[in-house]
Structure 1
Amino acid sequence: MATTADFRNGMCIELEGQYYFIVEFLHVKPGKGAAFVRTKLRNVTTGRVLDKTFNSGVKVDEVRIERRPFQYLYKDDMGYNFMNTETFEQIPIPAEQIEGVQFLKEGDIVEVQIHAESGTILTAEMPVHVVLEVTYTEPGIKGDTATNTLKPATLETGAEVRVPLFIDTGEKIKVDTRNGSYVERVR
């Protein structure tokens, strides 16, 4: 059990049978009335963000989460199969529980969040940036680097992102997995 005084960003709590991560919180002490805590909570399974206000001192159930590295092996009808890099056990994880799954390629290491008591998998997080090869894009025009114009490009994982005009097929680029945006060209 934890109280609202124990809240911190990234903390996982159980609320109405669902698990939520605290995205941000603010202790408010108005001039009149009792103090309260205004929070933004992200649902672990759906990813939806919820605004919730707690009275100060309210007890909530804190959920202990363990983070473990897993390596992506292959995809089949059960989902995406991963191997624990410490114990070498293999587990399938559904695509809905993997953030940035469209940028996942074989051999990538993801951080899996596991409920400590029950051992159930909550989410799998990709690294913030991944380096991928462009498999197809329209050819760029020489000297067309002054504008901020973007064109579609297909990556080796099949994902499509918007890249600057000077990027060609066969080049490697760094992509932000949180929003799918182009970061930079990698040499």
Structure 2
Amino acid sequence: MITAGDFRNGVTFELDGNIFQIVEFQHVKPGKGAAFVRTKLKNIVTGATVERTFNPTDKMPKAHIERKDMQYLYSDDDFYHFMDVETFEQMPIGKANVGDALKFVKENEVVKILSHKGNVFGIEPPTFVELKITETDPGFKGDTATGATKPATVETGAVIKVPLFVDNGDVIRIDTRTGEYMERV
């Protein structure tokens, strides 16, 4: 059991038959009245976010989320296919369960498969990935005073904003949590 007073970002718990992960939390102690905890929760099965307040003494059962390393093999019309790196078993996961979590992941990279009681609900890509720029417009000399950016397509097909000095063929590091350009490699 976990009390609302012990909430931290990323903690998962069961509430009303659903499993939620804390996205944001704030302990509030007003001048008058009792303290409370204001939260933004993400339903890990549906992906919906809700805002809810709790008393600091409210107790909920903690949900155990399994994170398993699996190698991304390939995708077809309806499924992404993964291989367990320990047992070499292959597992297809429906594209609806994955969402856009793989937009920065190349084939043969290792990702974490998230599941609760055997039901896969999501994928955690590596925090940083290095990808090659396949298509971008050339930057203009002298147009750097404003920190301007331009769209660029990486080898996985995702489009991100990059600085003007990045060219086709450059390898860049991307933060997969935000989808932002970090640096040229």
TM-score range, shorter chain: 0.7 to 0.9
> Which residue of 2 is the match for residue 112 of structure 1?
113
Q: Please tell me the root mean square deviation across aligned C-alpha atoms, in Å.
A: 2.3
Q: CA deviation at 1:83?
A: 1.0
Amino acid at match of 2:61: D
Q: TM-score, normalised by structure 2?
A: 0.85
Kindly tell me: are residues 96 and 176 of structure 1, through their superposed partners in 2, closer, same or farther at Cα, counting changes over 3 Å? farther
Deviation at 1:145, TM superposition (A): 4.2
Does the residue aligned with 1:97 lie in a helix, a strand or coil?
helix
**How far 1:69 sits from its partner (Å)?**
0.9
Question: In 1, Cα distance between the equivalents of 2:179 and 2:105?
Answer: 12
**What does the per-residue CA deviation read over 1:52-88, in whole Å, with 9 as the maximum and x for residues that have no partner?**
1123433323211121111100001331111111222
CA distance in 2, matches of 1:26, 1:136: 42
1: distance between equivalents of 2:58 and 2:134?
54
Query: What does 1:66-105 align with in structure 2 at a 5 Å threshold?
Result: 66-98=66-98, 100-105=101-106
Please give the TM-score of this superposition, normalised by the length of structure 1: 0.84
Equivalence for 1:154 = 153
Query: Shift of residue 28 of structure 1?
Result: 4.3
Amino acid of the structure 2 residue aligned with 1:149? A
Instruction: Determine whether 1:13 maps to 2:13.
Output: yes
Structure 1: stretches of 5+ with no match in the other structure: none
The whole-number CA distance in structure 2 between the counterparts of 1:162 and 1:31 is: 45
Relative distance call for 1:109 and 1:32 in structure 2 (3 A) is same
| Number of matched pairs | 184
Give the distance between the partners of 1:147 and 1:59, measured in 2 at CA.
50
Comparing 3-12 with 122-131, greater Cα deviation is found at 3-12
Kindly provide the amino acid, as one letter, of the partner of residue 110 in structure 2.
I
| Pair 1:147–1:4, CA change in 2 (3 A) | closer
**Which residue does 2:132 correspond to in 1?**
133
Residue 170 (structure 1) aligned with residue 169 (structure 2): yes
C-alpha separation in 2, matches of 1:16 and 1:10: 19
Q: Give aligned-pair identity as a percent.
A: 53
CA-to-aligned-CA distance 1:100-122 (integer Å, 9 cap, x gap): 3211210111112221xx21112
Q: 1:149 & 1:89 partners in 2: Cα distance? A: 46
Three-state SS of the structure 1 residue aligned to 2:61 is: strand
Write the letter of the residue equivalent to 2:88: F
Please give the secondary structure, in 1, of the residue aligned with 2:103: helix
> Within 1, Cα distance between the matches of 2:2 and 2:113?
24
- Judged with a 3 Å threshold, the aligned counterparts in structure 2 of structure 1 residues 24 and 165 are, in CA distance, closer, same or farther, namely closer
Alignment CA distance shift 1:154-1:54 (3 Å): same
